[in-house]
Chains A and B, each alone.
Chain A
Amino acid sequence: MIKRVVIKRRVVRKKVKASDDKVEKFIKPLKIKEEKFLNPNSIYTKMFMIGILVLGFIIGNFVVIKPTINSAMLIEPDLQQKKSFLDTSETSKIGLLKKTKEAEDQLQQINQSFFYTSKPDEFYTLFSEAALDHQLKIYSLNKISEDFYKKQKKDDPKAFDIFEKYKIVEYELVINGKFIDYLNFIKTLEKYDKSFVVTDSVIEEKNNGMVEIKNKIKLSLLNT
């Protein structure tokens, strides 16, 4: 029989006592760095930097920022005004365009009532056809005068503004027929809505219920 013998080893750790002298050897000297002559130019460099900084600030603040703010403040009310104008301008524009269109239509409509210089026979055709339709006889038709439209100047009543766009032509017209026919003739002319006016008229009874009508007619012609 084999007996196991367990040998227990007792390990005794040595206590290390460091002497004060040895400890002192481990103290690391706190050497300070050798100071060298400093370059005085660093002062000038820093002063230069401050100069640059101040210059940068002056330029940045007084040349860029402040003038920009001041300029903007000066134009800001104008900008606001213009913006608010633009905001409402579209509506105004549309309104104005509408009004213009209406005025244009109206003018066109007015212009349609004029006789045109390019169609000098229109007046006679219209008159003669109407007269024929109503059994009236046009005895005579004489042009009395023809001139551009003139208008007295407000500041000088003796002088006239001449409008070459319009011509005023005066005719003397003698018609013969029954009054009732003449009345219908007038009604027909009225329907034409043309720009002419009877300035003077004398309707005189003749024999057999016939009347003689002497009219002075003033035509307004549009130069085209």
Chain B
Amino acid sequence: MKEKLLVLKEKFLQAFRKFMYPLLGSISISKEKRVAIEIQQDNISICQFDGKNQIKQFFNERLEISTDKNIENASEIYEQKILKIVKKNKLKGYEANLIIPTSYSKIHLINIPVAEEDAASPDDVIFSNFSKNAQTQEFWKSFEQLGQIKETDEVSHFIVSKNDATLELSVVVAITDKEKILSFKNVLKNCGINANLIEPKLFSIINSILIKKQEVKPFQFGILEYTNDKSYFAIVSDTSFKFTEVEISRSDKVLLKQLEKMPSPEGPFWSEVFERSLENVNSLIEEVNNDENNEIKVKELYFYSEEDNVNNFITGLKNKFQKIIIKEISLVSVNMTEPELEIKDNSVEYDTLKENLLENNTIKLSKKVRKTFPVTYIDINKAFPLIGSSLRYLNAFNIKKKFIPKFQINLNPENFKYLENNKIKTSNYLLNSITVLLLFIFSGLIALNLPVYFEKSKVLKQHPSVVQKYDQTLNEIKNISGKYKKIEADSKLANEVQSTNNEYYKLVKNTPSIVPDGVKLNKLEFLDNQAVFEGHAVTDYDLNMFVQNIRDTIGRPDITKLNVAVILNDDTQSAPVEQNESASNNNQQLSQNTSSFRNFKIEVDL
């Protein structure tokens, strides 16, 4: 279970590195204010790369220090001289890639077996347990081939490649006396420069050459760094690295020094000397060239020396390796016309071919530097390692960039601390930036929403009281309305219940006025909104008038009964005798003592 969790954790970290480290690495590199510095006995050389594609500064200055002094025994003088230069060029606070002589380190190339989980992928090896263990001296002491490691020694390493088949890492290990490193480092530290990246000159040279070589993969070349003291030879390809220290005996060193005073290195004697001196070089080249697995053979050999006069040595070198092109790196183009070219069976032979490092697609000199370059430079053909070194960064996240050199060994005793601090600083910077950015975005969003929020808060705050007031008012209105409706209903009911005598009153009141003189009413009935008039009229005229008056005042009359009544004159009180109208007409002349009347019954709908 625990193992599974560890595997899971490792996979998570790998994924995290894959996505986050390119970003963090780019930030880390952009934050490094860095210059490459090389301090020699009498001069200091400085080169600054802008982190993109230009050399911003590239100069050297004489320190004017007497030849019997060096940085270890006269550090104060160096400090004073360098301090002036630092102030003049405003380099205080910069970090530095310091080039120290290759001879200060014992360099070994060893193969180290690693556990599978420690080297899951070539890119992750640098973050594996191996790299953490490699920070301790105890780890390196277990490798016999490294020889005795003193407490005062600093062991630095760089993983060149990983063999997946054998699960072995090919590692360059450099053992350096800490005191020597610190003598350089402290001088720069007292001048306000933090030299936290220190590399042997050989690797600066290789990294410089690789600027051009990486444009034409695959490649393989040899590099010989030659000095009167110690010389080193390496074969570099895009996939491998072979290294050896050139073992030249003390007597041969004297002879080679004398060689430069001779007119030419021709002859069997000098051939013998070169044969002995370059035995290691020759065997390494043969080893590579005879390897059947290696398709690309060593056809180029770059030569670098700080010595002033090495022309005869180069000629001797050319004589020794006749099938290999001997090249020197230069920073100017004018010398390119010097070589005498002779093409023989696909091989080129000439005295020395000078290759201009600045003719590449990766970096170039800035306009400012081009104005003074190379006039201001003391020895232009020996300055190029600074360019390779200036491309170095702490690169704590091990990101890949076009300009970042392949060989990234750091002799600084506090390398691990700087790498860890760089990671923390970069992470903190990114997190701070994210915090500020988020703060800005969030503040912006909140600021945009805040006025609306306050306005809407008021609405929300207002709403309950308005609703309460509304409900209260609505209830009041409902109550009033209910009361009104109830009153209305009551009124309606009361009106319905209420009985009025309008029609009856009207009938009774109007009756006296509608009865003409010749009409007498005997009976007036009022029933179900119907009035019935009963009586008698003296003449038809009177009756007609009465009917007309009814029509005008009360309603439509309907005569339901009409007859003639005869009344005796001597007995006016007697009731009229009823007759039919036709009968009445026939008996009109019956008696002078009788009077005739019209009895009627009229119904009127009110």
Are A46 and B435 also in contact (CB < 8 A) when A82-B470, A196-B499 are? yes
Closest Cβ–Cβ distance, residue A130 to chain B (whole Å)? 13
Q: How far is the CB of A23 from chain B (nearest CB, A)?
A: 10
- With most chain A CB atoms within 10 A of its CB, the pick from B87, B432, B487 is B487
Mark each residue of chain A from 65 to 84: 1 if its CB lies under 8 Å from any CB of chain B, else 0.
11011011101101100110
Q: Is A189 close to B, CB under 8 A?
A: yes
Asked if A107 meets B417 with Cβ closer than 8 Å, knowing A43-B427, A79-B462, the reply is no
Question: In angstroms, how far is the closest chain B Cβ from the Cβ of A200?
Answer: 5
Q: Which of B473-490 contact A (CB under 8 A)?
A: 473-474, 476-477, 480-481, 483-484, 487-488, 490
A132 touches B (CB below 8 Å): no
Q: Is B508 an interface residue (CB 8 A)?
A: yes
Contacts of A168 in B (CB 8 A): 497
Of the candidates A24, A189, A197, which one forms a contact with B80 in the assembled complex, judged by CB atoms under 8 Å apart? A24
Q: A79-B459, A200-B526 are in contact. Are A31 and B189 (CB under 8 A)?
A: yes
Say which one of B49-57, B402-410, B437-445 lies at the interface with A: B437-445
Q: Which residue of A50, A53, A65, A220 is within 8 Å of B453 (Cβ)?
A: A65
Which residues in A have their C-beta under 8 angstroms from that of B431? Answer: 43, 46-47, 49-50
User: B93 at interface (Cβ–Cβ under 8 A)?
Assistant: yes
Q: Which B residues touch A72, using CB under 8 A?
A: 455-457, 459-460
Bound together, the chains give a CA A198 to CA B449 distance in angstroms of 80
Q: How large is the interface on B (under 10, 10 to 19, 20 to 34, 35 or more residues)?
A: 35 or more
Contacts of B522 in A (CB 8 A): 204-205
- A50 and B278 CA atoms in complex are apart in Å by 62
**Contact call B438/A29, Cβ cutoff below 8 A:** no
Determine if A135 is an interface residue (Cβ-Cβ < 8 Å). no
In the bound assembly, the distance between CA atoms of A89 and B472 in angstroms comes to 11
Chain B neighbourhood of A165, CB < 8 A: 493
Cβ A29 vs Cβ B191 within 8 A: yes
CB-defined interface of B321-365 with A at 8 Å, one 1/0 digit per residue?
A: 000000000000000000000000000000000000000000000
- The distance from the CB of B602 to the nearest CB of chain A, in whole angstroms, is 15
Q: Is B496 an interface residue (CB 8 A)?
A: yes
Tell me if B18 counts as interface (CB < 8 A to partner A).
no
Given contacts A57-B442, A75-B460, A97-B480, whether A186 and B190 have CB atoms under 8 Å apart is: no
Q: Closest chain A residue to B422 by CB distance?
A: A38
Q: Please judge, given known A-B contacts A107-B494, A205-B523, whether A82 and B190 are in contact too, CB under 8 Å.
A: no
Given contacts A30-B191, A202-B525, A205-B522, contact A163 B493 (CB under 8 A): yes
- Contacting B497 at CB < 8 Å: which of A60, A68, A149, A182? A149
B residues near A24, Cβ cutoff 8 Å: 80
Instruction: Kindly provide the distance from the CB of B575 to the nearest chain A CB, expressed in whole angstroms.
Output: 12
| Majority DSSP secondary structure for residues of B touching A | helix
Distance (whole angstroms) from the CB of B168 to the closest CB of chain A = 31
Q: Which residue from chain A places its CB closest to the CB of B426 in the assembled complex?
A: A43
In the complex, chain A residues whose CB is within 8 Å of the CB of B450: 65
- How near does chain A come to B424, taking the closest CB pair, in angstroms? 4
Instruction: Tell me which of B92, B456, B484, B526 contacts A96 (CB under 8 A).
Output: B484
Which bucket holds chain A's interface residue count? Answer: 35 or more
* A163, chain B: closest CB distance, angstroms: 6
In the bound complex, CA of A170 to CA of B394 (Å):
122
A75/B484 contact (C-beta < 8 A), A32-B192, A110-B498, A114-B498 known: no
Whether the Cβ atoms of A57 and B456 lie closer than 8 Å is no
* Contact across chains for B500 and A103 when beta carbons are under 8 A apart: no
Q: Contacts A68-B453, A75-B460, A200-B527 given; indicate if A37 touches B497 (C-beta within 8 A).
A: no
Q: Are B446 and A195 in contact (CB under 8 A)?
A: no
Residues of chain B within 8 A of A27, CB atoms compared: 80, 83-84
Q: Is the Cβ of B508 less than 8 Å from the Cβ of A186?
A: yes
Chain B residues within an 8 Å CB radius of A218: 499
Please state if B460 and A96 are interface contacts (CB–CB under 8 Å).
no
Given the complex of chains A and B, what is the CA–CA distance between A213 and B463 in angstroms?
A: 73
The answer to whether A35 touches B83 (Cβ under 8 A) is: no
Give, as a whole number of angstroms, the nearest-CB distance from B604 to chain A: 14
Q: Which residues of B contact A200 (CB under 8 A)?
A: 525-528
- Name the distance in Å between B478's Cβ and chain A's nearest Cβ: 10
CB distance from A173 to the nearest CB of B (A): 13
Q: How far is the CA of A116 from the CA of B424 in the complex (A)?
A: 103
Interface residues of A in 174-200 (CB under 8 A from B): 179-180, 182-183, 186-187, 189-190, 195-200
Q: Which chain A residues lie closer than 8 Å to B483 at the CB level?
A: 100
Interface pair A68/B460, CB less than 8 Å apart: yes
Q: A38-B420, A43-B424, A68-B460 are in contact. Are A96 and B477 (CB under 8 A)?
A: yes
Instruction: Check A42–B432 contact: CB distance below 8 A.
Output: no
Q: In this assembly, does B250 line the interface, its C-beta being within 8 Å of a C-beta of chain A?
A: no
Selected from B446, B456, B487, B508, the residue in CB contact (under 8 A) with A103 is B487
Pick from A35, A83, A103: contact of B491, CB below 8 A: A103
- A42→B493 CA distance, assembly (Å): 88
Say whether A61 contacts B449, CB under 8 Å. yes
B141 contacts the other chain (CB 8 A): no
Supplied contacts A29-B79, A35-B196, A64-B453, 12 more A-B pairs, CB within 8 Å: A24-B80, A30-B87, A30-B190, A30-B191, A43-B431, A49-B431, A79-B459, A79-B462, A82-B467, A89-B474, A198-B526, A205-B523
Pick 16 A–B contacts, CB within 8 A, sort by A: A30-B191, A38-B424, A50-B438, A61-B442, A65-B453, A71-B460, A72-B456, A79-B462, A103-B487, A107-B494, A114-B497, A186-B505, A198-B526, A204-B522, A204-B524, A220-B499
Please name the 3 residue pairs, one residue from A and one from B, whose CB atoms are nearest each other, closest first: A30-B192, A197-B499, A72-B456
